[in-house]
Structure 1
Amino acid sequence: MLHLRSLVFNVFFYLWTGLLLLVMILLLLLPGDRLILGIGLVWGRGNLWALRVICDLKVEWRGMEKIPEGAILVAAKHQSAWETFAFFLPFRRPAYVYKRQLAYVPLFGWAVWKARQIPVDRGKKGEALASITAGAKIAASIGRQVMIFPEGTRRPVAAPPDYKYGVAHLYRTLDLPCQPVALNSGMFWGRKSFIRRPGTVLVEFLDPIPPGLSPTEFAERLEADIEGATNRLIAESRARGEGEEPLTPAGGRN
Protein backbone atom coordinates (compact mmCIF):
# COMPACT_ATOMS: atom_id res chain seq x y z
CA MET A 1 0.00 0.00 0.00
CA LEU A 2 2.88 2.38 0.78
CA HIS A 3 4.30 1.95 -2.73
CA LEU A 4 0.88 2.34 -4.35
CA ARG A 5 0.12 5.54 -2.46
CA SER A 6 3.53 6.90 -3.35
CA LEU A 7 2.95 6.10 -7.02
CA VAL A 8 -0.45 7.81 -7.03
CA PHE A 9 0.99 10.91 -5.41
CA ASN A 10 3.95 11.06 -7.78
CA VAL A 11 1.59 10.91 -10.76
CA PHE A 12 -0.48 13.69 -9.21
CA PHE A 13 2.64 15.77 -8.47
CA TYR A 14 3.89 15.77 -12.06
CA LEU A 15 0.44 16.32 -13.56
CA TRP A 16 -0.31 19.16 -11.13
CA THR A 17 3.07 20.75 -11.73
CA GLY A 18 2.67 20.47 -15.51
CA LEU A 19 -0.82 21.96 -15.44
CA LEU A 20 0.31 24.98 -13.43
CA LEU A 21 3.31 25.51 -15.71
CA LEU A 22 0.91 25.71 -18.64
CA VAL A 23 -1.16 28.27 -16.74
CA MET A 24 2.03 30.26 -16.11
CA ILE A 25 2.58 30.62 -19.85
CA LEU A 26 -0.48 32.85 -19.94
CA LEU A 27 1.03 35.03 -17.20
CA LEU A 28 4.49 35.54 -18.67
CA LEU A 29 3.47 38.60 -20.66
CA LEU A 30 1.74 40.29 -17.72
CA PRO A 31 3.72 42.83 -15.66
CA GLY A 32 5.09 42.03 -12.22
CA ASP A 33 5.74 38.78 -10.40
CA ARG A 34 2.85 38.58 -7.93
CA LEU A 35 0.66 36.35 -10.10
CA ILE A 36 3.53 33.94 -10.72
CA LEU A 37 4.25 33.80 -6.99
CA GLY A 38 0.53 33.24 -6.43
CA ILE A 39 0.74 30.19 -8.69
CA GLY A 40 3.60 29.00 -6.51
CA LEU A 41 1.30 29.23 -3.48
CA VAL A 42 -1.39 27.24 -5.31
CA TRP A 43 1.28 24.66 -6.26
CA GLY A 44 2.36 24.30 -2.65
CA ARG A 45 -1.16 24.03 -1.26
CA GLY A 46 -2.17 21.47 -3.89
CA ASN A 47 0.84 19.26 -3.20
CA LEU A 48 0.36 19.43 0.58
CA TRP A 49 -3.32 18.54 0.13
CA ALA A 50 -2.43 15.55 -2.05
CA LEU A 51 0.20 14.35 0.42
CA ARG A 52 -2.33 14.52 3.24
CA VAL A 53 -5.15 12.80 1.33
CA ILE A 54 -3.16 10.22 -0.64
CA CYS A 55 -0.15 9.49 1.58
CA ASP A 56 -1.47 10.51 5.02
CA LEU A 57 1.50 12.89 5.28
CA LYS A 58 0.71 16.11 7.14
CA VAL A 59 2.74 19.10 8.28
CA GLU A 60 3.02 20.92 11.59
CA TRP A 61 4.32 24.49 11.46
CA ARG A 62 5.87 25.72 14.70
CA GLY A 63 6.93 29.25 15.61
CA MET A 64 5.49 31.05 12.57
CA GLU A 65 4.81 34.05 14.80
CA LYS A 66 8.59 34.56 15.04
CA ILE A 67 8.99 35.37 11.32
CA PRO A 68 9.90 39.08 10.98
CA GLU A 69 7.90 41.31 8.66
CA GLY A 70 9.37 42.63 5.43
CA ALA A 71 12.64 41.69 3.80
CA ILE A 72 14.60 38.96 5.60
CA LEU A 73 17.20 36.30 4.95
CA VAL A 74 15.75 32.79 5.38
CA ALA A 75 18.26 30.00 6.04
CA ALA A 76 16.60 26.58 6.05
CA LYS A 77 17.63 22.97 6.44
CA HIS A 78 17.27 21.14 3.11
CA GLN A 79 16.51 17.42 3.22
CA SER A 80 13.90 16.97 0.51
CA ALA A 81 12.11 18.39 -2.51
CA TRP A 82 9.22 18.90 -0.05
CA GLU A 83 10.40 22.29 1.18
CA THR A 84 10.73 23.76 -2.32
CA PHE A 85 6.94 23.92 -2.65
CA ALA A 86 5.83 23.86 1.01
CA PHE A 87 7.69 27.08 1.86
CA PHE A 88 5.32 29.06 -0.36
CA LEU A 89 2.84 28.90 2.54
CA PRO A 90 4.85 30.66 5.29
CA PHE A 91 6.83 32.83 2.85
CA ARG A 92 4.54 34.50 0.31
CA ARG A 93 7.20 36.50 -1.61
CA PRO A 94 10.22 34.19 -1.68
CA ALA A 95 13.32 34.75 -3.80
CA TYR A 96 15.18 31.44 -3.89
CA VAL A 97 18.88 31.09 -4.63
CA TYR A 98 18.81 28.40 -7.36
CA LYS A 99 21.12 26.69 -9.84
CA ARG A 100 21.28 28.71 -13.06
CA GLN A 101 20.98 25.48 -15.07
CA LEU A 102 17.34 25.20 -13.99
CA ALA A 103 16.58 28.33 -16.00
CA TYR A 104 17.09 26.30 -19.18
CA VAL A 105 14.36 23.76 -18.34
CA PRO A 106 11.40 24.45 -20.69
CA LEU A 107 8.42 26.13 -19.00
CA PHE A 108 9.88 25.76 -15.51
CA GLY A 109 12.86 27.94 -16.36
CA TRP A 110 10.60 30.63 -17.79
CA ALA A 111 8.52 30.63 -14.60
CA VAL A 112 11.63 30.90 -12.41
CA TRP A 113 12.87 33.85 -14.48
CA LYS A 114 9.49 35.60 -14.33
CA ALA A 115 9.30 35.09 -10.57
CA ARG A 116 12.64 36.95 -10.25
CA GLN A 117 14.50 34.25 -8.36
CA ILE A 118 18.26 34.43 -7.74
CA PRO A 119 20.44 32.36 -10.09
CA VAL A 120 23.90 31.08 -9.22
CA ASP A 121 26.37 29.32 -11.48
CA ARG A 122 28.16 26.85 -9.23
CA GLY A 123 30.67 26.05 -11.95
CA LYS A 124 32.07 29.60 -11.75
CA LYS A 125 32.94 29.97 -8.10
CA GLY A 126 34.60 33.32 -8.61
CA GLU A 127 31.37 34.77 -9.95
CA ALA A 128 28.88 32.83 -7.82
CA LEU A 129 28.94 35.08 -4.74
CA ALA A 130 28.77 38.21 -6.88
CA SER A 131 25.68 36.97 -8.75
CA ILE A 132 23.98 35.84 -5.53
CA THR A 133 24.70 39.17 -3.86
CA ALA A 134 23.37 41.23 -6.76
CA GLY A 135 20.14 39.24 -6.98
CA ALA A 136 19.64 39.17 -3.21
CA LYS A 137 20.05 42.96 -2.92
CA ILE A 138 17.40 43.52 -5.58
CA ALA A 139 15.02 41.07 -3.90
CA ALA A 140 15.54 42.61 -0.45
CA SER A 141 15.03 46.13 -1.78
CA ILE A 142 11.46 45.26 -2.78
CA GLY A 143 10.61 43.44 0.46
CA ARG A 144 11.15 39.86 -0.69
CA GLN A 145 12.30 36.99 1.53
CA VAL A 146 15.75 35.86 0.34
CA MET A 147 15.69 32.06 0.59
CA ILE A 148 18.88 30.05 0.87
CA PHE A 149 19.70 26.49 1.84
CA PRO A 150 23.04 26.95 3.66
CA GLU A 151 24.36 23.51 2.72
CA GLY A 152 23.67 24.17 -0.95
CA THR A 153 21.86 20.93 -1.71
CA ARG A 154 19.62 18.29 -0.16
CA ARG A 155 21.28 16.33 2.61
CA PRO A 156 20.27 12.88 3.90
CA VAL A 157 18.79 12.83 7.39
CA ALA A 158 21.85 11.18 8.95
CA ALA A 159 24.46 13.20 7.01
CA PRO A 160 26.83 15.48 8.96
CA PRO A 161 26.24 19.22 8.42
CA ASP A 162 28.06 20.90 5.53
CA TYR A 163 27.33 24.63 5.73
CA LYS A 164 28.80 26.86 3.02
CA TYR A 165 30.18 30.39 3.26
CA GLY A 166 27.47 31.89 1.03
CA VAL A 167 24.89 32.30 3.79
CA ALA A 168 27.34 34.21 6.03
CA HIS A 169 28.29 36.41 3.09
CA LEU A 170 24.64 37.27 2.43
CA TYR A 171 24.01 37.93 6.12
CA ARG A 172 26.88 40.43 6.27
CA THR A 173 26.06 42.06 2.93
CA LEU A 174 22.28 42.41 3.29
CA ASP A 175 22.37 43.51 6.95
CA LEU A 176 18.96 41.88 7.53
CA PRO A 177 17.56 39.60 10.24
CA CYS A 178 18.07 35.93 9.45
CA GLN A 179 15.22 33.48 10.00
CA PRO A 180 16.62 29.97 10.68
CA VAL A 181 14.34 27.03 9.85
CA ALA A 182 14.72 23.45 11.09
CA LEU A 183 12.75 20.50 9.71
CA ASN A 184 12.70 16.73 9.30
CA SER A 185 11.09 16.33 5.85
CA GLY A 186 13.75 13.84 4.74
CA MET A 187 12.30 11.23 7.09
CA PHE A 188 9.15 11.11 4.97
CA TRP A 189 10.28 12.20 1.49
CA GLY A 190 13.86 11.05 1.24
CA ARG A 191 16.50 12.41 -1.09
CA LYS A 192 16.24 10.47 -4.38
CA SER A 193 13.52 8.27 -2.85
CA PHE A 194 10.31 7.17 -4.56
CA ILE A 195 8.54 6.55 -1.24
CA ARG A 196 6.35 9.11 0.54
CA ARG A 197 5.90 7.88 4.11
CA PRO A 198 2.87 8.75 6.32
CA GLY A 199 3.24 10.89 9.40
CA THR A 200 3.79 14.58 10.15
CA VAL A 201 6.62 16.70 8.80
CA LEU A 202 7.77 18.99 11.62
CA VAL A 203 8.93 22.48 10.64
CA GLU A 204 10.20 24.90 13.28
CA PHE A 205 10.93 28.59 12.77
CA LEU A 206 13.63 29.41 15.29
CA ASP A 207 14.45 32.72 16.97
CA PRO A 208 15.60 35.18 14.29
CA ILE A 209 19.27 36.13 14.33
CA PRO A 210 19.57 39.94 14.36
CA PRO A 211 21.97 41.70 11.99
CA GLY A 212 25.33 42.89 13.22
CA LEU A 213 27.16 39.72 14.23
CA SER A 214 30.50 38.91 12.66
CA PRO A 215 30.34 36.32 9.86
CA THR A 216 32.07 33.76 12.11
CA GLU A 217 29.72 34.35 15.06
CA PHE A 218 26.73 34.20 12.75
CA ALA A 219 27.84 31.00 11.01
CA GLU A 220 28.48 29.24 14.32
CA ARG A 221 25.14 30.30 15.79
CA LEU A 222 23.18 29.45 12.64
CA GLU A 223 24.61 25.94 12.37
CA ALA A 224 24.19 25.25 16.09
CA ASP A 225 20.58 26.49 16.11
CA ILE A 226 19.44 24.66 12.97
CA GLU A 227 21.26 21.40 13.64
CA GLY A 228 20.22 21.26 17.29
CA ALA A 229 16.55 21.84 16.44
CA THR A 230 16.64 19.49 13.44
CA ASN A 231 18.06 16.66 15.56
CA ARG A 232 15.37 17.29 18.15
CA LEU A 233 12.60 17.12 15.53
CA ILE A 234 14.03 13.91 14.08
CA ALA A 235 14.15 12.36 17.55
CA GLU A 236 10.56 13.43 18.22
CA SER A 237 9.23 11.79 15.06
CA ARG A 238 11.24 8.63 15.69
CA ALA A 239 9.81 8.45 19.22
CA ARG A 240 6.36 8.46 17.60
CA GLY A 241 7.42 5.64 15.29
CA GLU A 242 7.01 7.90 12.23
CA GLY A 243 9.11 8.38 9.14
CA GLU A 244 12.03 6.32 7.95
CA GLU A 245 12.85 3.08 9.70
CA PRO A 246 15.16 3.85 12.63
CA LEU A 247 18.73 2.55 12.60
CA THR A 248 19.56 -0.37 14.88
CA PRO A 249 22.51 0.00 17.28
CA ALA A 250 24.64 -2.03 14.85
CA GLY A 251 24.00 0.50 12.13
CA GLY A 252 21.75 -1.72 10.04
CA ARG A 253 18.03 -1.46 9.33
CA ASN A 254 15.34 -3.11 11.41
Structure 2
Amino acid sequence: MLLLRSLLFNVAFFGLGAFFMVLGVPLLLGPRRLQRRAMRGMAQCLVWTLCRTIGVTLRVTGSEHLPTQGAALIAAKHQSAFDTLIWFTLVPDVAYVMKKELFLLPFYGWFARRAPMIGVDRSAGGKAMRQMMRDAREVAREERQIVIFPEGTRTAPGQRIPYQPGVVALASSLNLPVIPVATNSGRIWGRRNFLKRPGTLEVRVLPPLTVARGELLARLEQVIETEQLELEGAGR
Protein backbone atom coordinates (compact mmCIF):
# COMPACT_ATOMS: atom_id res chain seq x y z
CA MET A 1 0.00 0.00 0.00
CA LEU A 2 2.82 2.40 0.87
CA LEU A 3 4.50 1.69 -2.47
CA LEU A 4 1.26 2.23 -4.38
CA ARG A 5 0.46 5.48 -2.57
CA SER A 6 3.99 6.75 -3.14
CA LEU A 7 3.77 5.91 -6.83
CA LEU A 8 0.46 7.73 -7.08
CA PHE A 9 1.84 10.80 -5.37
CA ASN A 10 5.04 10.92 -7.41
CA VAL A 11 3.10 10.68 -10.66
CA ALA A 12 0.75 13.41 -9.45
CA PHE A 13 3.63 15.57 -8.21
CA PHE A 14 5.47 15.65 -11.52
CA GLY A 15 2.32 15.56 -13.63
CA LEU A 16 0.55 18.40 -11.84
CA GLY A 17 3.77 20.42 -11.64
CA ALA A 18 4.29 20.11 -15.39
CA PHE A 19 0.61 20.91 -16.04
CA PHE A 20 0.68 24.09 -13.98
CA MET A 21 3.98 25.30 -15.39
CA VAL A 22 3.18 24.68 -19.06
CA LEU A 23 -0.34 26.04 -18.75
CA GLY A 24 1.02 29.09 -16.94
CA VAL A 25 3.66 30.05 -19.52
CA PRO A 26 1.49 32.89 -20.98
CA LEU A 27 1.42 34.42 -17.48
CA LEU A 28 5.15 35.13 -17.81
CA LEU A 29 4.17 37.97 -20.12
CA GLY A 30 1.92 39.56 -17.51
CA PRO A 31 2.45 41.32 -14.16
CA ARG A 32 4.64 39.55 -11.62
CA ARG A 33 1.76 39.07 -9.23
CA LEU A 34 0.28 36.62 -11.75
CA GLN A 35 3.36 34.40 -11.67
CA ARG A 36 3.31 34.41 -7.87
CA ARG A 37 -0.37 33.45 -7.85
CA ALA A 38 0.32 30.59 -10.25
CA MET A 39 3.14 29.27 -8.04
CA ARG A 40 0.93 29.60 -4.98
CA GLY A 41 -1.90 27.70 -6.64
CA MET A 42 0.45 24.90 -7.70
CA ALA A 43 1.93 24.61 -4.20
CA GLN A 44 -1.52 24.46 -2.58
CA CYS A 45 -2.57 21.72 -4.97
CA LEU A 46 0.59 19.66 -4.35
CA VAL A 47 0.35 19.94 -0.56
CA TRP A 48 -3.30 18.86 -0.72
CA THR A 49 -2.32 15.93 -2.96
CA LEU A 50 0.39 14.81 -0.51
CA CYS A 51 -2.08 14.79 2.36
CA ARG A 52 -4.75 12.92 0.41
CA THR A 53 -2.69 10.30 -1.38
CA ILE A 54 -0.13 9.47 1.33
CA GLY A 55 -2.30 10.00 4.40
CA VAL A 56 -0.41 12.95 5.86
CA THR A 57 -1.89 15.18 8.53
CA LEU A 58 -0.40 18.67 8.39
CA ARG A 59 -0.07 20.39 11.76
CA VAL A 60 1.12 24.00 11.93
CA THR A 61 1.68 25.47 15.39
CA GLY A 62 2.73 29.00 16.29
CA SER A 63 1.08 30.53 13.23
CA GLU A 64 0.29 33.59 15.36
CA HIS A 65 3.97 34.52 14.93
CA LEU A 66 3.55 34.76 11.15
CA PRO A 67 2.59 38.04 9.49
CA THR A 68 -0.77 38.47 7.80
CA GLN A 69 0.76 41.29 5.78
CA GLY A 70 4.01 43.22 5.45
CA ALA A 71 7.66 42.22 5.19
CA ALA A 72 9.07 39.44 7.36
CA LEU A 73 12.18 37.27 7.59
CA ILE A 74 11.61 33.56 8.26
CA ALA A 75 14.50 31.15 8.95
CA ALA A 76 13.17 27.63 8.39
CA LYS A 77 14.65 24.19 8.81
CA HIS A 78 14.97 22.48 5.42
CA GLN A 79 14.60 18.70 5.30
CA SER A 80 12.44 18.11 2.27
CA ALA A 81 11.11 19.43 -1.04
CA PHE A 82 7.92 19.96 0.96
CA ASP A 83 9.58 22.97 2.60
CA THR A 84 9.83 24.69 -0.78
CA LEU A 85 6.06 24.40 -1.21
CA ILE A 86 4.47 24.98 2.17
CA TRP A 87 5.39 28.65 2.57
CA PHE A 88 3.28 29.57 -0.43
CA THR A 89 0.33 28.44 1.69
CA LEU A 90 1.33 29.93 5.06
CA VAL A 91 2.20 33.56 4.26
CA PRO A 92 0.60 36.04 1.85
CA ASP A 93 3.46 36.58 -0.62
CA VAL A 94 6.57 34.46 -0.12
CA ALA A 95 10.01 35.06 -1.65
CA TYR A 96 12.41 32.15 -1.17
CA VAL A 97 16.18 32.60 -0.99
CA MET A 98 17.43 29.91 -3.38
CA LYS A 99 20.40 28.78 -5.42
CA LYS A 100 20.68 30.91 -8.53
CA GLU A 101 21.28 27.79 -10.62
CA LEU A 102 17.60 26.92 -10.13
CA PHE A 103 16.71 29.92 -12.29
CA LEU A 104 18.16 27.98 -15.23
CA LEU A 105 15.57 25.19 -14.96
CA PRO A 106 12.90 25.21 -17.67
CA PHE A 107 9.50 26.46 -16.54
CA TYR A 108 10.09 26.46 -12.75
CA GLY A 109 13.22 28.57 -13.10
CA TRP A 110 11.44 30.99 -15.41
CA PHE A 111 8.68 31.53 -12.86
CA ALA A 112 11.14 31.80 -9.95
CA ARG A 113 13.17 34.46 -11.76
CA ARG A 114 10.13 36.39 -12.87
CA ALA A 115 8.29 36.27 -9.50
CA PRO A 116 11.03 37.14 -8.41
CA MET A 117 12.63 34.86 -5.86
CA ILE A 118 16.03 35.79 -4.40
CA GLY A 119 18.81 33.98 -6.22
CA VAL A 120 22.21 33.39 -4.62
CA ASP A 121 25.34 32.59 -6.64
CA ARG A 122 27.33 30.52 -4.17
CA SER A 123 30.51 30.79 -6.23
CA ALA A 124 30.55 34.60 -6.09
CA GLY A 125 31.55 35.00 -2.42
CA GLY A 126 31.06 38.47 -0.94
CA LYS A 127 29.59 39.77 -4.19
CA ALA A 128 26.78 37.23 -3.89
CA MET A 129 26.04 38.35 -0.33
CA ARG A 130 25.78 42.00 -1.39
CA GLN A 131 23.51 41.12 -4.30
CA MET A 132 21.32 39.00 -2.03
CA MET A 133 20.87 41.92 0.36
CA ARG A 134 20.00 44.30 -2.48
CA ASP A 135 17.42 41.87 -3.84
CA ALA A 136 16.02 41.24 -0.37
CA ARG A 137 15.59 44.96 0.30
CA GLU A 138 13.62 45.26 -2.92
CA VAL A 139 11.43 42.31 -1.93
CA ALA A 140 10.88 43.81 1.54
CA ARG A 141 9.85 47.12 -0.02
CA GLU A 142 7.13 45.17 -1.80
CA GLU A 143 6.02 43.93 1.66
CA ARG A 144 6.72 40.28 0.83
CA GLN A 145 7.82 37.61 3.29
CA ILE A 146 11.34 36.21 2.83
CA VAL A 147 12.07 32.56 3.66
CA ILE A 148 15.70 31.52 4.03
CA PHE A 149 17.04 28.08 4.93
CA PRO A 150 19.87 29.01 7.32
CA GLU A 151 21.89 25.84 6.74
CA GLY A 152 21.94 26.57 3.02
CA THR A 153 20.87 23.06 2.01
CA ARG A 154 18.59 20.18 2.92
CA THR A 155 19.53 18.05 5.91
CA ALA A 156 18.31 14.61 6.92
CA PRO A 157 16.45 14.13 10.22
CA GLY A 158 19.02 14.10 13.01
CA GLN A 159 21.73 15.66 10.83
CA ARG A 160 23.29 18.95 11.90
CA ILE A 161 25.50 21.23 9.86
CA PRO A 162 26.67 24.78 10.69
CA TYR A 163 24.23 27.60 10.07
CA GLN A 164 25.38 30.12 7.46
CA PRO A 165 25.77 33.86 8.19
CA GLY A 166 23.48 34.97 5.35
CA VAL A 167 20.48 35.07 7.67
CA VAL A 168 22.32 37.47 9.99
CA ALA A 169 23.24 39.74 7.09
CA LEU A 170 19.63 39.82 5.96
CA ALA A 171 18.28 40.54 9.44
CA SER A 172 20.73 43.42 9.83
CA SER A 173 20.14 44.83 6.35
CA LEU A 174 16.35 44.65 6.56
CA ASN A 175 16.12 45.55 10.26
CA LEU A 176 13.65 42.72 10.80
CA PRO A 177 13.39 40.13 13.58
CA VAL A 178 14.01 36.53 12.53
CA ILE A 179 11.17 34.04 12.85
CA PRO A 180 12.63 30.54 13.49
CA VAL A 181 10.85 27.43 12.21
CA ALA A 182 11.37 23.73 12.94
CA THR A 183 9.87 20.83 11.01
CA ASN A 184 9.89 17.04 10.72
CA SER A 185 9.15 17.06 6.97
CA GLY A 186 12.16 14.82 6.25
CA ARG A 187 10.52 11.96 8.14
CA ILE A 188 7.57 12.06 5.73
CA TRP A 189 9.30 13.06 2.49
CA GLY A 190 12.97 12.12 2.53
CA ARG A 191 15.53 13.54 0.15
CA ARG A 192 15.71 11.51 -3.09
CA ASN A 193 13.39 8.98 -1.48
CA PHE A 194 10.67 7.51 -3.68
CA LEU A 195 8.63 6.41 -0.68
CA LYS A 196 6.55 9.01 1.13
CA ARG A 197 5.34 7.99 4.59
CA PRO A 198 2.01 8.69 6.29
CA GLY A 199 1.92 10.48 9.61
CA THR A 200 1.75 13.93 11.14
CA LEU A 201 3.93 16.46 9.38
CA GLU A 202 4.63 19.31 11.77
CA VAL A 203 5.70 22.87 11.09
CA ARG A 204 6.50 24.69 14.32
CA VAL A 205 6.76 28.47 14.08
CA LEU A 206 8.66 29.89 17.05
CA PRO A 207 8.64 33.40 18.56
CA PRO A 208 10.66 36.00 16.62
CA LEU A 209 14.26 36.63 17.71
CA THR A 210 15.41 40.19 18.27
CA VAL A 211 18.84 39.53 19.85
CA ALA A 212 21.97 41.47 18.94
CA ARG A 213 23.58 40.71 15.59
CA GLY A 214 26.64 39.09 17.17
CA GLU A 215 24.45 36.62 19.08
CA LEU A 216 21.81 35.97 16.44
CA LEU A 217 23.32 33.03 14.55
CA ALA A 218 24.15 31.01 17.66
CA ARG A 219 20.78 31.79 19.22
CA LEU A 220 18.89 30.89 16.04
CA GLU A 221 20.67 27.55 15.78
CA GLN A 222 20.05 26.80 19.45
CA VAL A 223 16.33 27.59 19.24
CA ILE A 224 15.66 25.62 16.06
CA GLU A 225 17.80 22.61 16.92
CA THR A 226 16.33 22.36 20.42
CA GLU A 227 12.88 22.22 18.85
CA GLN A 228 14.15 19.68 16.32
CA LEU A 229 15.29 17.38 19.12
CA GLU A 230 11.83 17.51 20.67
CA LEU A 231 10.18 16.84 17.30
CA GLU A 232 12.45 13.94 16.47
CA GLY A 233 11.99 12.47 19.94
CA ALA A 234 8.22 12.62 19.49
CA GLY A 235 8.60 10.96 16.09
CA ARG A 236 10.51 8.04 17.59
Q: Contact (CA 8 Å) 2:65, 2:207: kept in 1 or not?
A: yes
Distance 1:117 1:53 in 2: 29
What residue in structure 2 maps to residue 38 of structure 1?
Answer: 37
Mapping for residues 150-169 of structure 1, pairs under 5 Å: 150-169=150-169
Amino acid in structure 1 at the alignment position of 2:25: I
Task: Pick the structure with more helix per residue.
Answer: 2
**Aligned residue type for 2:64:** E
Q: Post-superposition shift, 1:42?
A: 1.5
Q: Secondary structure at the match of 1:3?
A: helix
SS at match of 1:26: helix
8 Å contact from structure 1 (residues 77, 149) kept in 2: yes
Q: Tell me the distance in 1 between the aligned counterparts of 2:213 and 2:129.
A: 15
The one-letter code sitting in structure 2 at the alignment partner of 1:59 is L
Q: Does 1:197 align with 2:197?
A: yes
Cα deviation digits, residues 109-152 of structure 1 (max 9, x gap): 11111111111111121322011111101001110111100000
The one-letter amino acid paired with 1:51 is L
CA drift of 1:88 comes to 0.8
Q: How far 1:215 moved relative to its partner?
A: 2.2
CA distance in 1: counterparts of 2:39 and 2:92, whole angstroms: 9
Spell out the pairing of 1:45-60 with structure 2 (5 A cutoff): 45-60=44-59
Q: Distance in 2 between matches of 1:25 and 1:74?
A: 29
- The residue identity in structure 1 corresponding to 2:204 is E
Name the residue aligned to 2:226: 228
State the aligned residue count: 235
Aligned residue in 1 for 2:66:
67
- SS of the residue 1:113 aligns to: helix
Q: Take 1:122 and 1:161, find their aligned partners in 2: how far apart are those partners?
A: 17
Question: In 1, are the aligned partners of 2:66 and 2:91 still within 8 Å (CA)?
Answer: no
Match of 1:249 in 2: none
How far is the alpha carbon of 1:158 from its aligned partner? 1.5
- The 1-side partners of 2:87 and 2:66 are apart by 13
Overall identity of the aligned pairs, in % = 39
Q: How far apart are residue 224 of structure 1 and its match?
A: 1.1
**3-state DSSP of counterpart to 1:58:** strand
User: Quick one: distance in 1 between partners of 2:233 and 2:38?
Assistant: 34
- Residues 3-152 of structure 1 aligned to structure 2 (within 5 Å): 3-31=3-31, 33-68=32-67, 69-152=69-152
Post-superposition Cα deviations, 1:160-203, rounded to whole Å, max 9, x if no partner, equal: 23200111111111111211111110011111211100001011
| Equivalent AA in structure 2 for residue 61 of structure 1 | V
- For residues 191 and 147 of structure 2, what CA distance do their matches in structure 1 show? 20
Map Cα deviations across residues 25-65 of structure 1 (whole Å, 9 max, x no partner): 1111112x222222222112211221122110121010111
Moved over 6 A (4+): none
Corresponding letter in the other structure for 2:157: V
- Say which one has the larger Rg: 1
Confirm whether residue 171 of structure 1 aligns to residue 143 of structure 2.
no
Structure 1 spans left out of the alignment, 5+ residues: 239-254
Counterpart of 1:216 in structure 2: which amino acid? G
How far the C-alpha of 1:156 sits from its partner, in A, is: 0.7
| Residue type of the alignment partner of 2:139 | A
Contact 1:36 1:115 in 2 (8 A): yes
Q: Residue type matched to 1:189 in 2?
A: W
Task: Give 1:237 deviation, angstroms.
Answer: 2.4
User: For 2:21 and 2:104, how far apart are their aligned partners in 1?
Assistant: 14
Do the aligned partners of 1:172 and 1:214 also contact (CA within 8 Å) in 2? no
Rounded Cα–Cα distance in structure 2 between residues aligned with 1:151 and 1:3: 31
Amino acid at match of 1:236: A
What SS does the aligned partner of 2:89 have? coil
Q: Please, what TM-score do these two structures have when normalized by structure 2?
A: 0.95
Instruction: Work out whether residues 158 and 232 of structure 2, in 8 Å CA contact, stay in contact via their aligned partners in 1.
Output: no
